[in-house]
Amino acid sequence: MPEPNELNSGQIIRKDANKCFLEVQNDYFGVGKVHLFFAKYDVSLQKGSRYTQKVNIYIDIPEFLEFCRRILSGSIHRDMQKLRTDSDKLNKPLYSSMGGTSADDLARYGRSRKDGMSLSRVAKLCAGDKVDYAFIAQSGPGETDAKGLIVPRFGSKPENSVFVGLSWENLNHIALVTQMHIQAFYNLQYMNAGLSILPQPDNIDQSRQAGQSTPTGQETVQQADNPFTHI
């Protein structure tokens, strides 16, 4: 893992605060996720051991794009302004994402917790005090419910917690740049695989000359590889 002041090869955008940062990465686009890496660090510690807290958050791309829409439309900014003076604002998130890794999956990966529980990961965006926003990521023990959701069971004592303060401009930067990278990723998928499923003009002309009907777009897609099966 790169040092706190080093560039990560999968980095889309990074925002730094006081001895902590939030980094958006593209390394899970292939499985339909946006990867947020939250970290606190201490540069006085030995190189290779400078991270003191870190949390990885994985959000489905459609959900993250909706989050971006709310940011760029001004919806989240308006809600933030209403909550700035609310003493309970950290319990009234403007956005939240709850996920993690089940105990069964941890066991399969050879990374079971000592308590045998699932690993819960939670991220929430709240109105801030000295800054516009507090983007908070936490992880700790969790339980998998009947619907397969991982419910946090760490209360007010997470094992890892990172608080990154953001201005409204910085939040906009995250939304704009990440949205652009997601669009570029899917554009590339169509360029690499999607174009091969479209009828070519020469083939269409030959079909007409032979008295054959031109396949519909839906039939053509069914006959070709789905361009997203390799994502």
Q: Is residue 224 part of a domain?
A: no
What is the structure's pLDDT at 200? 57
| Position 68, amino acid | C
Q: Is residue 177 part of a domain?
A: yes
What is the structure's pLDDT at 9? 76
Cα 136 to Cα 22, 26, 159, distances in angstroms? 10, 20, 13
Q: How far apart are CA 187 and CA 213, in angstroms?
A: 30
> How many domains is the chain built from?
1
What is the structure's pLDDT at 197? 55
Q: Is residue 135 part of a domain?
A: yes
Q: Is residue 51 part of a domain?
A: no
Q: Is residue 221 part of a domain?
A: no
Q: Is residue 118 part of a domain?
A: yes
Q: Is residue 143 part of a domain?
A: yes
Q: How far apart are CA 31 and CA 36, in angstroms?
A: 14
Could you tell me which of 71, 84, 85 has the C-alpha nearest to residue 168?
Answer: 71
Pair 34, 178: CB distance under 8 Å: yes
| Position 177, amino acid | V
**Run of H or E residues at 34:** strand 33-41
Q: Is residue 192 part of a domain?
A: no
How many helices (DSSP H) and strands (DSSP E) are in the chain?
Answer: 6, 9
What is the structure's pLDDT at 214? 40
The series of mean pLDDT values per 10 residues for the chain, 231 residues long, is: 67 95 96 96 90 96 97 96 90 94 93 94 95 96 90 91 97 98 92 64 54 43 40 38
For the chain, the C-alpha Rg in angstroms (whole number) is 22
Q: How far apart are CA 228 and CA 231, in angstroms?
A: 5
Q: What are the strands, taking DSSP E only, across 178-217?
A: none
Q: What are the strands, taking DSSP E only, across 84-188?
A: 95-101, 118-127, 133-144, 150-152, 160-166
Range of the domain at 135: 59-182
